[in-house]
Structure 1
Amino acid sequence: MFSSQKKLIKHLKKGHTGAYSFLVDLHYKELCDYASNLARDNFKSEDIVQNVIVRMWQQREKLNTNISIKNYLYKSVYNEFIDQYRKEVAVTKLEKKYIESLDTVIEVQDVTEINRLMKLVQNEIERLPPRCKETFLLSKQEGLTYVEIAEYQNVSVNTVEKQMVKALSIIRKKMKEKVMSILFLLFGTKKT
């Protein structure tokens, strides 16, 4: 059907679903095996491969007709594995900070004091500059990633990061101690 790699990629770029099905049939199992060797988890490996194949289809117009599609898929599976691994490590660190923060707050045994600190943090959030406040709440309250916030606000991810740094800096200056513990209590461990 597809006599050459270039022909296959050209059909993919044009959005022919037959080319996509052919590609999936040809490489899916071997990509899952490769991902399984990386992740050492069959369910995770299938997620990795599915993410790669779906993303490739979504971005098919950008495919270069001179590449090796097999090498491209393997490299993409590897990169997806690395991305997922980094996210898991970040979540583990965040969970550790959350537990440490809870321990710190629990040391303050006076519930009235905890409530007072939480109210102070909420007041400081309300006083943030409007764009800064919106960015902070989208991240911490709504759980959006920086990329999602950037798309929603039609700004760069760098701008979102700067707004978050600014918000946390303002809150820290006002609150001084125990602010991170209170933020964790208010917003939990939602990803940034």
Structure 2
Amino acid sequence: MSASHEHNINLILLLQKGDEEAFTNLINTYHKPLFIYALNLCKDHDTAEDIVQNTFLKTWKYRKKLNPDLPIKNLLYKSTFNNFISHYRKEKPFQSIEDTYIEAINETIDEDNGEMLAKKIAMVTQGIEELPKKCKEIFLLSKQDGLTNIEIAEYLNISVKTVEGQITKAYRILRDLIGSQLKEILFILFDIKK
């Protein structure tokens, strides 16, 4: 058994017994990375803080159900993501989230990649900022503002072919940055943020 696995078991057993010092250590260890992760998801400081607080409150409330064989880190990231989704659904009850995206993102978090997902979101955000000026403008009109290619062409007084070319270019640049998960990341950044 690895030291980290043993530490995980000990921590969870202490939490199950209601050890407040273990809970304080848990918060001290994971508050900052979870906050950064939540902030990357919701883009709002206060909301991110609420989401993370909720994660810790739920972890304490359901501590007796924690599984010592599963990394607590995974559980915390997944719980934070689920709290974000719950918050989003409360804020925008008439918009449905496509379950395939949620599943794909949940799988990512299951694989101990919660931090990686947050990093990829940050990389895509940065990548969009660094796109060539015209490319960035067209990409954001399409993804952020939800304009069709024809609407963008009319708005910028350019051809639809130019619009398509620039969007394809943006996708290629961003996919080079983070690979096949681009679709899920863009979903988090734009469809949930509209």
Normalising by structure 2, we get a TM-score of: 0.45
TM-score, normalization by structure 1: 0.46
Greater Rg, structure 1 or structure 2?
Answer: 1
